[in-house]
Amino acid sequence: MTLPAPLHLDICPRKGGLKLTFLLRRVSSSPLAAYSAVQFTTYETLKSVFTDYEDREAGGKGKGKLGTGLKLVAGSLAGITSVRFSFFLLPP
């Protein structure tokens, strides 16, 4: 059983050639760039906030390292935030 090729791979070589293939690739990946930018920015911001909080709790003697649990929380919140703000940009 062979799976059918995605629509843009089937049409582009016949209709518009390689130029159209790369144009469609750029258009379909641009929402992913916005999604990744929001996720990365949110994760780095939350990491610095949690690190500052850990340092204050340690009385200023913290080493600036973040535990695994708080990294997991920061990553989870970053993923939720990026989905929330870029949901309508992603193709169906």
Q: Taking the CA atoms of 20, 11, 9 and 91 in sequence, report the sign of the dihedral they define.
A: positive
C-alpha 21/C-alpha 18 separation (Å) is: 5
Q: Tally the C-alpha atoms within 13 A of residue 53's C-alpha that lie toward its C-beta.
A: 10
Q: Tally the C-alpha atoms within 13 A of residue 19's C-alpha that lie toward its C-beta.
A: 2
pLDDT bucket at 90, cuts 50 / 70 / 90: low
- pLDDT average, residue stretch 29-51: 87
C-alpha 28/C-alpha 42 separation (Å) is: 23
Domain limits, the chain? 7-86
- pLDDT average, residue stretch 49-73: 80
C-alpha 81/C-alpha 83 separation (Å) is: 5
Which of 32, 7, 18, 8 is closest to 89 using CA atoms?
32
The rounded percent of the chain whose pLDDT value lies above 70 is 58
